[in-house]
Amino acid sequence: MKQHHLKIEPSDVGRYVLLPGDPARCKTIASHFDQARKVAQNREFVTYTGKLLNEPVSVTSTGIGNPSAAIAIEELRAVGADTFIRVGTSGGMQPNQTPGDLAIITGSIRDEGTSNHYLPIEFPAVASLDVVSALRTAAEKLGYKTHLGISHSKDSYYGQMSPERMPVAAYLQDRWKAWVQGGAICAEMESAILLTLGAVYRLRVGSVTLIAINQAKPELGVSTNITPMINTAIETIRLLIQQDRMVKE
């Protein structure tokens, strides 16, 4: 059955899927595939499919935020995908981070509303160990600087970037200080639901993000270079394909 929002069918996608937020990034990511083709486009959801190591792989944009990401993951899972890696941008939260570094997310603070519709808030949002390991191996192989740890995943971009403008400014700022003190490495808007759905549906899930800014040190500027993040994700899919083949043998 064709999915309502993504307009995809089982034959349209592979089991391995990369999930950028921005639809415009799908074509760039798909250029790393062999035989890449656009298979669907509707609303914020754009899907390309091609091959890596002769295995079908796909990229689907999720739009901004956990609600639309949940729709994308639900419908991709419904047509057979089972391995997902989020690729996006984030704000760094620790003073030792430089714009252009990569964040490999091991778990997420569920400071959003979507995942509450799946599991109680006490249930942790945790990435799959084999995906985290493959991401780290891929980044090290390619020579990229990475930070492993917890992301702050939330619904309000401006609540993070300009909390002082909000009527609940003190609440937002106090919580932000807690996340930083607890060691959270980055702030972003989609990983919590991805990792939660990974638990609910027994999917393999993980996230790698570009640290575009360091919110503790804004004077360091902004990085828009998504190439290391994409290269790491592509190499990670290759590693997972190879591992899956070894298991079958």
Residue-averaged pLDDT of the chain = 97
Stated pTM of the model? 0.96
pLDDT surpasses 80 at 123: yes
233-243 pLDDT tens trace: 999 999 999 99
Q: Which two tokens stand for residue 46?
A: 């754009």
Q: Domains plus CATH for the chain?
A: 10-248 (3.40.50.1580)
29-41 pLDDT tens trace: 999 999 999 999 9
Q: Give Cα 26 to chain centroid, integer Å.
A: 13
Angstrom distance (rounded) from CA 12 to CA 139: 29
Angstrom distance (rounded) from CA 243 to CA 178: 38
